[in-house]
Amino acid sequence: MLAILDGYSFCADDRNKTTTHWVCTNTGLCRARFITTKGREFIIKMPTSQHTHERPEFFIKNGVFYRKIVQIFRRPNSGNKVAVVEGYSFYRANKFQHSIIWRCSASSHCLARFTCSNDGYLCILKSNLVHNHPKPQFHIQDGVLYRFK
Ligand SMILES: [Zn+2]
Ligand SMILES: [Zn+2]
């Protein structure tokens, strides 16, 4: 579920039972967010309305929002899903009803991780995208991610 406010896109974090929290889809850097009632009619609170970036480029067609925030690929042998964000690859560590946790797959010593919505939009809800290693080298073909050793 996504909302557009003042030209910026937000994704819904439905983990709270009584309110819906909307976080800027450009997470990691931007802390803009607002809170609505569960029915999404009223904005209750807007703790941060300042974005740290330009309005994102996206378009809406027939009510569908087009902008890939998290890209998903498969691993060649296992077929396991692998997510790519900002040029780094992540494996699926935990899956919950409303969210999925991904952790950096390049190094077991890296603490980079993110939580995304489990609704098909895969918006990043929470993230730490600071890596302690260079970007991994990989090659993507037909939705499959091949890593160079
Ligand atoms: Zn923002
Ligand atoms: Zn990493």
- pLDDT tens digits, residue range 17-26? 899 999 888 7
- The Cα 35–Cα 100 span in angstroms is 21
Distance of CA 95 from the midpoint of ligand 1 (Å): 25
The pTM for the full model equals 0.63
17 and 44 belong to one structural domain: yes
84 and 131 belong to one structural domain: yes
Q: Which of 66, 87, 110 is the last residue of a domain?
A: 66
Distance of CA 57 from the midpoint of ligand 2 (Å): 26
> Are 28 and 129 contacting, i.e. CB atoms less than 8 angstroms apart?
yes
- Number of structural domains in the chain: 2
Distance of CA 38 from the midpoint of ligand 2 (Å): 35
pLDDT exceeds 90 at position 112: yes
Q: Please give the full DSSP string across 28-62, using - where no structure is assigned.
A: TT---EEEEETTSS-EEEEEE---SSPPPP-EEET
- Please give the pLDDT value at position 82: 93
For the record, the structure tokens of 132 come out as 């302690």
Give the range of the structural domain holding residue 55, as residue numbers without chain letter: 2-66
95 and 60 belong to one structural domain: no
56 and 118 belong to one structural domain: no
Number of H helices, E strands in the chain: 0, 15
60 and 78 belong to one structural domain: no
- pLDDT (average), residues 100-110: 92
9 and 42 belong to one structural domain: yes
11-58 pLDDT per residue, tens: 888 888 899 999 888 766 688 999 998 887 788 888 888 888 777 656
- CA 8 to centroid of chain Cα atoms: 15
